[in-house]
Amino acid sequence: MLTLNLKSEQDTERLGKALAELLPPGTVVGLIGTLGAGKTRLVQAVATALGVPEGGVTSPTFVLVNEYHGGRIPLYHFDTYRLKDDDEFLELGPEEYFDSDGISFVEWADRVEHLLPDDWLEIAIEVTGETTRRVAVVGGSLALDQAIEPLRCRF
């Protein structure tokens, strides 16, 4: 596990850029945190670093999944907050996204954790102040742990 203390929105940008550089295609990232913790903001930072036009990424709260193909690799952004049950998530066809060459982000991943692939990256965001966050990053496999290890040097 890797714990990072983000002191500003600029640190969130740096984390997003690092994840865009380090995560291999096909990675599933589960985001966990309270409302307003910065889950969507982190996805926006990753998307911008991948080349998606800035301002183009919005929360998929009501759409449930957004696809972004304008960057270096596709980015898929799920929001499971409003889902009633597992079947609603499965109806979105997550396996197709998870098995693709893009990176999938699942907000509120703790609600569907048992439906995620065995090898997923958990990013838990905890609000510690008005602009500060504690981020815990846990890889689901040795390969993901190795992929995120360079984050230690950047923060």
With bands split at pLDDT 50, 70 and 90, how would you rate the model's confidence at 125?
very high
Q: Which residue has the tokens 């065995």?
A: 118
CA angle 21, 27, 33 (to 5 degrees): 90
* Structural contact between residues 89 and 83, judged by C-beta atoms closer than 8 angstroms: yes
pLDDT the model gives residue 62: 59
In whole numbers, what is the pLDDT of the chain averaged over residues? 91
The model's pTM: 0.91
Domain 2-154 listed as CATH 3.40.50.300? yes
pLDDT in tens, 8-18: 999 999 999 99
Q: How far is CA 111 from CA 7, 39, 82, 136, in A?
A: 28, 15, 10, 18
End-to-end Cα distance, the chain: 14
Residue 152 identity = R
Task: Report which DSSP code applies to 102.
Answer: S
Q: Measure the CA–CA gap between 93 and 144, rounded to whole angstroms.
A: 23
In the chain, what are the domain boundaries?
2-154
